[in-house]
A and B are shown apart, each in its own frame.
Chain A
Amino acid sequence: MTDVQFRFRDDELAGDPAVTVDSFFDQTNATAVRIEPGEDARALLPFLGRLQLIEVSFPAWTDGRGYSSARVLREAGYTGELRAVGDLVIDMLSHLRRCGFDAFAPEHGLNHADAQAAFDRWDNVYQVTGDGRAPIWARRHG
């Protein structure tokens, strides 16, 4: 299992390892699941109540399906840990964060200073993405 390098939550790390979506549907007590890019995040919606951790896998950072998975889960009200796992690069961190990820487990550790700069890059944003940030249009018409 890859280590979590960045986490924006105060609660304890989930104890159970994440299982595949198929296994998750077979295990009525599982509390952590990992979804792959081709899997439908909406299939998890009936189970959000018992999920503490959802890992979203990025086998290649240029495959952006995980961003939509994250937003679909957050829009449906998921409040547990949403962890991006895999081929994460510095330049995607702020965008992942905006889509609802609050934990990051890159398969190759990232330079801490560069990553911090990336998280803090954008003081303002143009879109509403459910991350609680007021978009520029809201500031203009506040």
Chain B
Amino acid sequence: MTYIPISPNERDAMLKTVGVKSLDALFDAVPQKHRFPELDLPPALTEMEAASLLSEMANTNENVREHLISFLGAGAYNHYIPSVVDHILRRGEFYTAYTPYQPEISQGTLQAIFEYQSLMTNLTGMEVSNASHYDGATATAEAVSLAFAQFRGKRKKVVMSPAVHPQYREVVRTYTQGMGLEEVGDDVSIDPEVEPDAMMSLVDENTMLVVVQYPDFFGRIYDYTKLVEDAHAKGSLVCIVANPTAMVMLKTPAEMGADVVVGEAQPFGIPLWYGGPYLGFFTTKKSYVHKMAGRLIGETVDNRGQRSYVLTLTAREQHIKRERATSNICSNQGLLALAAAVYMSTLGKTGLQQVANLCYQKAHYAATELSKIDGFGLCFSDPFFHEFVLCCPKSGSEVNEYLLDHGILGGYDLGKDYPSLENHILMAFTEMNSKQEIDTLVEVLKEME
């Protein structure tokens, strides 16, 4: 299959205009001994064959809509996506456009992302949102960079809660390995009796940022107002990593005083897609806008007096500032920010509240029923949203294996990251889980030996 729309006659005419004899003759600058390698790749397929091959590969998987009942979350959630979302995303004007450097012919992308920024600020309660980051983990790492820039490198300590997603903590460490920071607080020998803000004792005058998650990785809802106050008293900034579906129902991180609110917006209209691409959102206070990385859309007018939108504050960015840039970021997750905007608009205030309420109700029903089974129980007593830690009579991996044999994708095995939680799994519930599915889970676990 080829997508090259040039006939042999046209090719020859073009070669003549260029003044070379053959296509190969265009490459004389390439060292001869390495020129035109034979590539050992499978022969080309037609579209029909490729469609069939990919279909076969996809069918080798067991997916959470057709094969498995899923209670797996831990940073990626199985939500219903209204049909409208993908219909809009499939418009070639959106998905085949580049970054909107030419605003006169990019107002579609620009206004849509401006609206996305607005939706995210209204959801989080913060003043400013950028046009997005790669995912929740990298958005969290960018929050550390913001704090580093805010203190001009004079404060060097990041206090991270152990109840921040383990992979997010890993990414923060990868990102900051050249910055000479001290990262503390996420001792993974979790004691379930200890409050989520136990690491506050580590916050001192050298601390630039405290990072907590909301609801935290174990699903707990905790009001961080006091923690934020205490951190601010030491001069530190606070970043809250928040779940967008939970924020529809819960007190906003802005009300708690957070300086930066980031997170993973995959639950808002983006399929599980085996982990990506997702959508990292990043919101903050207006006073930090110059320290924020990523693209930013602002309102303006054109020379015909029409309200319009442009990329703004580009002086922070790599193509202007080069090695002094806030970050090396070039792209955002444009199309997925559009997906989130369409998702939020289509469900609207009411639909989103329904989604949040269903998640909450299903999780609490499941918690009640699971707690009745001998040997099982809820690990924490704190309020939770749609995820909780289930204490099991066996190791998490054994429980999950058993469930999988019964067509159930169990929870996240916490023993992998927290040695003290070996017999614990993190279970997630969304509007996609019917009562019947939950009852099946309970029945199957009752039978476990």
Do the two chains bind? no
Chain B interface residues toward A at CB < 8 A:
none
Chain A interface residues toward B at CB < 8 A:
none
